[in-house]
């Protein structure tokens, strides 16, 4: 059962396609409104600040901090079951967006709020999933 793969998103969904295309080159992208400068994540067609549509794609540094997290100790999905315990965390990128991801490269019990982390890519075909690991 170790060959079970991670459930993956629809990489061709129109609003998120530029984000996923960026992962091919290991770019962690987010949107910013060119009119009001609001940082927008998750990808969408309109600004959450002014409701305008003048969104520009930016590339994040990949450096971030753990805002909050949960340790998952039970999972029914075969992929995640093989990884328990694992950490699901809200990650605050230096540039402002907050996204949900996993913390890897450390025991679940060692994760803490405000921990400095950086993006760590998990390859999935041409694409990659942005995960986060502690900054060493």
11 within some domain:
no
Q: What pLDDT score does 129 carry?
A: 96
The structure tokens 């690991």 sit at: 133
DSSP line for 84-129: -SEEEEEEEETTS-EEEEEE-SS-GGG--TT-EEEEEEEEETTEEE
107 within some domain:
yes
State residue 47 phi and psi, 5-degree precision.
-75, 135
Q: What pLDDT score does 4 carry?
A: 77
CA angle 22, 23, 28 (to 5 degrees): 75
34 within some domain:
yes
pLDDT tens, residue by residue, 50-77: 999 999 999 999 999 999 999 999 999 9
CB neighbour class for 13 (10 Å; exposed up to 12, middle 13-18, buried from 19)? exposed
101 within some domain:
yes
pTM: 0.92
2 within some domain:
no
The structure tokens 């907050």 sit at: 98
42 within some domain:
yes
Contacts (Cβ under 8 Å, ≥6 apart) of 38:
32, 47, 48, 49, 50
pLDDT surpasses 90 at 5:
no
102 within some domain:
yes
Residue 101's CB is within 10 A of a number of other CB atoms, namely 20
Range of the domain at 129: 17-134
State the Rg of the chain over Cα.
Answer: 16
Average pLDDT of 21-38?
97
pLDDT surpasses 90 at 136:
no
5 within some domain:
no
Number of domains in the chain: 1
pLDDT tens, residue by residue, 91-135: 999 999 999 999 999 999 999 999 999 999 999 999 999 999 999
Average pLDDT of 13-28?
96
């Amino acid at each position: 059962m170790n060959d079970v793969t991670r459930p993956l998103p629809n990489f061709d969904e129109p609003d998120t396609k530029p984000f996923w295309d960026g992962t091919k080159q290991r770019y962690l992208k987010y949107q910013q409104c060119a009119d009001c400068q609001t940082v927008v994540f998750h990808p969408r067609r309109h600004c959450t600040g002014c409701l305008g549509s003048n969104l520009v794609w930016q590339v994040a540094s990949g450096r971030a901090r753990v805002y909050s997290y949960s340790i998952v100790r039970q999972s029914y999905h075969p992929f995640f079951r093989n990884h328990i315990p694992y950490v699901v965390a809200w990650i605050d990128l230096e540039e402002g967006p907050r996204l949900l991801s996993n913390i890897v490269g450390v025991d679940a019990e060692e994760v803490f709020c405000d921990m400095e982390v950086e993006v760590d890519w998990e390859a999935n075909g041409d694409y990659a999933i942005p995960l986060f690991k502690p900054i060493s």
